[in-house]
Amino acid sequence: MTIAFLALYYWAQNSLVKVQPVDYQDKLQAAQFMKQALETLEQYRLPAVEQTSTSKVNDPLVYTMLGEKDSPITTDEGRIEDKITVLNPNFAAAVVDLLHKVDINKGDTIAVLLTGSMPGANIAVYSAVKALGLHPVIITSVSSSWWGANQPDFTWLDMEKVLLDKGDFSFRSLAASAGGSDDHGGLRLSALGRQMITEAIERNELIHLEQGSLAGNIKGRIELFERLTTLKNYKVLVNVGGGVAALGHRENFYLIPTGFNSRLPSKNYPGRGVVHTFAEAGVPIIHIANVERVARDYNLPVAKLPIPREGVGLVFERNKYSLKIAVIALALMFIILALVKWFDRKHYRWREEKVDKDTI
């Protein structure tokens, strides 16, 4: 019986099968859209680089999508590992999974808040939005942390304009601000840096959010979102990074849980931003902050080069035990137990037949 039970257990334990989620095609399509968008930016950027430099670019994707450690439009520190992690096209599939935590349908309107810090994550959001057929209303903070879209001639606004012109996406930011600690550049942004950001906003013909204060820029964002529809009509708000106008205070980057939030947790927030206003209107929040956590939740590699091919990771398929085999194994165990019990009864009945009744 022991040998039989061990064999059945081994059979059930090794009955793993790969199961694809119901939204597999949406996720795969989002990953493919992101890969194509990254290739578009490579093809656009590299000819300009080759004209001004004689050095050979070893990794075109990294050269295109990773900026400098510091630049005139850099306002914060950042981890290069995070910037590489979000260049994985499969990160777009993770965003699809987060969006599907909301009852969302094709044509629904969503709000999106971006910064220049993680262009890879921005493209992942755009790719997920395109795959699901959503209508995004987007506002961007242009400045960047280390290794983000911090090249003055190739900001995030320039990147999305290229992707719009090349047909990768049919949408882009509606408005933009400088960003930084007060959404006007903060102390780390020089007059030259502010001017470069202003020029980037102007050459991309966007609304320049410059209300004179952080509170004014937060209010300006809300007013822009409400131009299209009331806040409660947005199905979800997606925030990428730590834009202070989006979050209200730098510490809220950590206080708001990464991932999907049906409602914000009750905490003593040091400041209130756009996400708090949306949350009060009953709109769910997707906060893409701790990139490493998102990657590990979906079994995506962290800071791995070369970039993995699309369609790989737990977001596309998971190992699942075969319920059919488990039920058959359990049924066989019960049958074996019943047989053993039957033979035991027969064995003890024969013993009792050979014993004197009076003795019994």
Environment class of 359 (CB within 10 Å of its CB; exposed 0-12, middle 13-18, buried 19+):
exposed
DSSP notation for 69-110: SS-TTEEE---HHHHHHTTSTHHHHHHHHHHTTS---TT-EE
- Residue 242 has what DSSP assignment? -
pLDDT in tens, the chain (360 residues): 899 999 999 998 888 877 788 899 999 999 999 999 999 999 998 876 555 554 444 567 777 899 899 999 999 999 999 999 999 999 999 999 999 999 999 999 999 999 999 999 999 999 999 999 999 999 999 999 999 999 999 999 999 999 999 999 999 999 999 999 899 988 889 999 999 999 999 999 999 999 989 999 999 999 999 999 999 999 999 999 999 999 999 999 999 999 999 999 999 999 999 999 999 999 999 999 999 999 999 989 998 888 888 888 778 877 778 888 889 999 999 999 998 888 877 666 655 555 555 655
Dihedral class, residue 346 (left if φ above 0, else alpha if ψ from -120 to 50, else beta): alpha
Q: What does the domain layout of the chain look like in residue ranges?
A: 2-17+318-353, 21-297
Exposure class string for 6-45: b at 16+ Cβ within 10 A, else e:
eebeeebeebeeeeebebbebbbbbbbbbbbbbebbbebb
pTM confidence score: 0.84
> Which pLDDT does position 141 carry in this prediction?
97
Q: Rounded to 5 degrees, what are φ and ψ at 213? A: -160, 160
* pLDDT value for 55: 46
Q: Give the angle subtended at the CA of 237 by the CAs of 231 and 243, to the nearest 5°.
A: 110
**How high is the pLDDT of residue 61?**
77
**How many whole angstroms separate alpha carbon 151 and alpha carbon 313?**
32
What burial letters (b/e) apply to 61-87, b meaning 16+ CB within 10 Å? bbebbbbeeebbbbbbebeeebbbbbb
DSSP state of 251: T
Q: Where are the beta strands (DSSP E) in 156-281?
A: 175-177, 207-208, 237-240, 259-261
Phi, psi for 187 (deg, rounded to 5): -75, -20
Whole-number pLDDT of residue 188: 85
